[in-house]
Structure 1
Amino acid sequence: LGAAAGLVTKTNKVGMVAADDIPLLKKWTVSFKEGLQSTNPKADFLVNYVGSFSDPAKAKEL
């Protein structure tokens, strides 16, 4: 998905919202970033962590 995002971004800014900064989720955010960078090395990757798996309001805000 990161590689696809790198191909379609018009602003070179791609973001992700994840529940928490834990190893299980980190493997997905890191691989997304690597895919993004492989197709668009100029793209900036922004990631925000909600800090909870049960706070959809904060996730929406981020």
Structure 2
Amino acid sequence: MTPTVEQLEKALLTMAKLVSSREDGEAYLPICRRLEAEINQRRSAQSYLERIKGMASSQMA
């Protein structure tokens, strides 16, 4: 099952806490970057989908 944006955001917050609380926290930054990139990609895709649907519905009216 594909995680939701909300689940990815929760995971990113958990990772941010881990990075902040551990001496070796910097080692986990690649995971944070990947989570953040996935969140941004999903938001962008959703925004694009909404714009396309909006264009279609405005032409149907």
User: Structure 1 length as normaliser, TM-score?
Assistant: 0.33
- For the pair shown, the structure with the greater C-alpha radius of gyration is 2
Higher relative contact order (CA 8 A, sep 6+): 1
> Which has more helix, going by share of residues?
2
> Which has more strand, going by share of residues?
1
User: Structure 2 length as normaliser, TM-score?
Assistant: 0.34
